[in-house]
Amino acid sequence: MSDLVSATELHDLLAGEAPVRVIDVRWRLDRPEAGHADYLTGHIPGAVFAALDTELSTHGEPDAGRHPLPSTATLQAAARRWGVREGDTVVAYDDTKGLAAARAWWLLRQAGVPVRVLDGGLRAWTAAGYGTATDDVIPEPGDVVLDEIGDDALTIDEAAAFPESGVLLDVRAPERYRGETEPLDPVAGHIPGAINLPTGLHLDADGRVLDRDTVLATLEGVGVTRGTPVAAYCGSGVTAAHTALVLHEVGIDARVFPGSWSQWSNTPGRPVATGDQPG
């Protein structure tokens, strides 16, 4: 079964008997504090707001990156606050083409929770003619018990060595990869050996993941085929999770470097490459 779900499929799931918990992972890089306010302007009925900055990540020193992994205990407390019970399926969505929702997918699947992402996000839901609600949903607390997370995460040293044995994908915009601009971090450029493949290349104009053959052809163009060891990083470990989701959909497992460029560029002594070539 695909880990992506269409708006119609989600509507049918919510009308069925199987327990489904929908979480709204509204978050934007340019205004990360506005997610809950956006949620209150209109969300899928019954959806609970999930805070990316405090529930799907934690905070630390700059050399830990902007979105370090939460502890398993923190994630479990969040999932219980969302009302997730043992046996529930979680469906995550956002209004940014699945980029934030994929962070929830990446973490929860490590924790043993069945989780899917709404393909096309909130736009797909409203385009299908389904209504929204403006209440602040506070469900009865859940009882889910999570497995330990972190096995799919690369450390900074593992990320540095990864190009020697596999393909390390930098999924940021090309100009950030090349080092022409860096709006958030202290140094511009990319990890030596990384190959640029912006995650947006896997999406259509409506934010839906492209068909399997198109995605596989794009991946083959940068040397990624089935059996290739592959890992992804971005600015702070959010967008890279979306690339991991896309690869999962076409049968390729990918690890994520959650510290990403925010950790690399804040760690003294780490080399930096610039330009179009991996370096």
Supply the residues annotated as catalytic.
234
Quick one: how far is CA 19 from the chain centroid?
23
How many other CB atoms sit within 10 Å of the CB of residue 217? 11
Distance (Å, rounded) from C-alpha 146 to C-alpha 86? 9
In angstroms, the Cα distances linking 164 to 158, 195, 229 are 10, 13, 10
Quick one: how far is CA 66 from the chain centroid?
14
Distance (Å, rounded) from C-alpha 47 to C-alpha 26? 11
Distance (Å, rounded) from C-alpha 38 to C-alpha 5? 22
Asked if residue 274 lies in contact with residue 190, where contact means CB atoms within 8 angstroms, the answer is yes
Q: What is the DSSP letter of 211?
A: P
3-state secondary structure 138-182: CCCCCCCCCCCCCCCECCHHHHHHHHHCCEEEECCCHHHHHCCCC
Quick one: how far is CA 178 from the chain centroid?
23
Name the nearest CA neighbour of 75 among 180, 146, 137, 177.
Answer: 146
Distance (Å, rounded) from C-alpha 104 to C-alpha 30? 19
